[in-house]
Amino acid sequence: MERERTALEQARLEKIQRLREHGIEPYPTRSEVTHTTAEARALFEREEASANPNPVAATLAGRLRAVRPMGKITFAHIEDGSGRIQLFFRANELGQEALDGFNHEYDLGDFIQASGTVFRTRTGEVTLQVQSFKMLAKALTPLPAAKDEVVDGEVIRHAALTDPETRFRQRYADLAVNPEVREIFRVRAATVAALRRYLDAQGFLEVETPILQPIYGGAAAKPFVTHHNQLKQDLYLRISFELYLKRLLVGGLDRVYEIGRDFRNEGVSFKHNPEFTQLEFYMAYANYLSIMQMTEEMISFASGQVLGTQKIQFNGHEIDLTPPWRRLSLRQGLIETAGIDIDQFPEVESLLAAMRAKGMNPNPHAAWGKLVDGMLGDFLEPTLIQPTFLYDYPRDISPLAKSKPGDPQTVERFEGFIGGMELCNAFTELNDPLDQEARFLEMGREYAADDEERHPMDEDYLRAMSYGMPPSGGFGMGIDRLVMLLTDHHSIREVILFPHLRSREEE
C-alpha cells in the first residue's frame, strides 16, 4: 500500500510497536467473550431483581467508543452488535501500570475484551468492573466520528460523519459510526424475510433464473452488455425476471417467485441505482384484480412484521397501508390531474395536440402509450401519496399484459404507488401466443429502430407460450423502494449498502 499514513495513524503504529515490545499481540487469534453486552446487562438486571442476587461475571468484547480517564480510574464504553456497555477500570483492581497501559496504548475504535463483574454505578448505569482486559484488534485509522453523548438514553453524535461521498464510499466507516444506518439494513433484511414468509405461506416456490441472458426482456430498459469469451457470445445482464418466470408457469410450476438483482444501464437518481433488487411473482389462475388484493395484503403484512404497524411516516406524510387501498383508473387519474381524457384522443396526433393545448411539451416522436405514461409520471404520480392502485393501461406500453375483454387498446394492468413513487407493477399475463407475437412485432414498429428499449423478439419465449400457459397474474416490485418507504429515506442510496458511485483515482 502506497498511501501515506496520517499523523494519527503514525501515533497508532507506534502504539502497536510498544504493545509488541511488551509481549502483547495487538491482533490475537482468540477471544474469550462469554456474553454480548445486552446479555450481560439482562443477566445483571435479572439478578438485581431477585431476592438473593448472585454476582454476574462476564467477559465482554466490542469496539471502544468512548474513554474518560480520571487519574486513578477510567470509564469507557464498548459497543458490540447488541449495544453498548460501560467499563470501569480502577487502579486498585488492575494496578497502576495496567491502567496506564490502557490509557496510553488503547484508542477509540480498537476492539477489546474485558473480564469482570457487572455492577451499577452511583449514577445508575450498568457497568462492568474490569478485572482484566486485552486488545482484540487495534484500529490503525481513527473512526471518523469524534464523540458521543447520551442524553435521556438517546445517543447524540457530535461531528458525526455526514459527508455522503465518504459515507457511501466507505460504508464500513458509516456503519461503524452511525447506528441508525445499521438499523436500515436490519429493516431491509426483515422486510425481505417477511415477503418470503408471506409468499411461502401461499404455496409459492422460490426459484432462481439466469442473470446472464442472451436476449433481455420483460421491461423497457437499456441493458448492460457483457461477453462470454469461450462461447464467443454477447450476453445481457437481466433487466427483469419476467420472461423466465413465465416459462416456469408453462412448465407446471403454478406459483413461483424470485427475489434478486436487476440491472439497468440508465441514469442514476434518488430512486434509481444501476442495480436494484426486485421481487417478482407469478400465480396461475390469478388475474390483476386478485393480485391487487394480494399486493395490499402482502405489503401491509410486511409492514406489520417489520415495524409492528400499518401506519408509516414518509417524507412528512403519515401513510396508512391498511387494506383496501384506493383504486383509480389511469384514465380517471389523468382527467383529474392532467386535465386530459385520454379516451377522447385515441390517436397520437390528437393526443399531442391536446397536450400542447395544455401547455405541455410532449416528445413528438413518442408512441401514444408513452405520451400517456409521460403524463402519468409528470402529473399523476406525485399526487399519489396514500397507497393507490392505478389500473387499466395502454396496450402499447404493456406488451406482456393481456387486453381487457372488449377493449383491445387497454390491458389489465395496474401499478401501485405510495409516497408519490411507483412501487410495483402487475398484470393479467398475456398467454395467447399469437397475440404475444403480434405485440412483439408492434413493438418493433412503434419504437424507433434505434430505441434501445425496444423489445427484441424472443422466439423461445413464444415457443413456450405456444405450449400453453395457464391464465395467470404476475407482479413485480422494487424492494429498495419498499425499504425506502418503511425506513423514511428519500434516496435509494441510503437503503443500498454499496450504492454505485463514479470510481475515483486514488494514489
Partner RNA sequence: GGGCGCGUAGCUCAAUGGUAGAGCAGUGGCCUUUUAAGCCAUUGGUUGAGGGUUCGAGCCCCUCCGCGCUCACCA
Interface of this chain with RNA, residues 139 to 198, rule: CB under 7 A: 142, 144-151, 158-166, 168
Stretch that binds RNA, among 25-33, 84-92, 308-316, 324-332 (CB under 7 A): 84-92
- Angle between the 330-337 and 368-375 helix axes, to the nearest 10 degrees? 60
Answer yes or no: are the C-beta atoms of 485 and 307 closer than 8 Å: no
Buried/exposed 28-55: b ≥16 CB within 10 Å, e otherwise: eeeeebebbbeebbebbeeeeeeeeeee
Answer yes or no: are the C-beta atoms of 401 and 441 closer than 8 Å: no
Q: What is the DSSP letter of 356?
A: H
Nearer to RNA, 352 or 397 (CB): 397
Stretch that binds RNA, among 65-73, 206-214, 274-282, 301-309 (CB under 7 A): 65-73
Touching RNA, residues 263-302 (CB under 7 A): 264, 266-267, 269-272
What CA–CA distance (Å, rounded) separates 353 from 365? 13
Helix (H) or strand (E) holding 435: helix 433-446
Nearer to RNA, 122 or 227 (CB): 122
Touching RNA, residues 107-136 (CB under 7 A): 107-108, 121-125, 127
Touching RNA, residues 302-361 (CB under 7 A): none
Alpha helices (H) along 232-285: 242-250
State yes or no: cis peptide before 324, omega within 30 of 0: yes
Task: Report the sign of the C-alpha dihedral through residues 474, 478, 483, 488, in that order.
Answer: negative
Nearer to RNA, 35 or 493 (CB): 493
Question: Contact with RNA (CB under 7 A): which of 71, 81, 252, 359?
Answer: 71
Touching RNA, residues 228-257 (CB under 7 A): 240
Buried/exposed 280-313: b ≥16 CB within 10 Å, e otherwise: bbbbbebbbeebbebbbebbbbbbeebbeebebe
- 399 contributes a contact to RNA by CB under 7 A: yes
Smallest distance from RNA to CB 49, Å: 20
Question: Contact with RNA (CB under 7 A): which of 453, 454, 462, 488?
Answer: 453
Cα distances from 264 to residues 169, 239, 329, 453, 458, in angstroms, run 21, 6, 28, 11, 19
Stretch that binds RNA, among 43-51, 216-224, 278-286, 307-315 (CB under 7 A): 216-224
Smallest distance from RNA to CB 109, Å: 9
Question: Contact with RNA (CB under 7 A): which of 43, 91, 181, 307?
Answer: 91
- 22 contributes a contact to RNA by CB under 7 A: no
- 5 contributes a contact to RNA by CB under 7 A: no
Touching RNA, residues 352-371 (CB under 7 A): 363
Nearer to RNA, 240 or 403 (CB): 240
57-70 and 73-80 strand pairing:
antiparallel
- 425 contributes a contact to RNA by CB under 7 A: yes
Nearer to RNA, 121 or 322 (CB): 121
Smallest distance from RNA to CB 451, Å: 8
What CA–CA distance (Å, rounded) separates 81 from 67? 19
Nearer to RNA, 121 or 233 (CB): 121
Alpha helices (H) along 75-178: 91-94, 96-105, 164-169, 171-177
What CA–CA distance (Å, rounded) separates 363 from 378? 13
Give how many residues touch RNA by CB under 7 A: 81
- 67 contributes a contact to RNA by CB under 7 A: yes
Smallest distance from RNA to CB 476, Å: 7
Classified as helix, coil or strand, 490 is coil
Nearer to RNA, 116 or 194 (CB): 116
Smallest distance from RNA to CB 193, Å: 25
In sequence order, what E strands does 203-246 have? 205-206, 212-213, 225-228, 233-237
Touching RNA, residues 30-59 (CB under 7 A): none
Smallest distance from RNA to CB 341, Å: 22
Stretch that binds RNA, among 47-55, 247-255, 396-404, 467-475 (CB under 7 A): 396-404
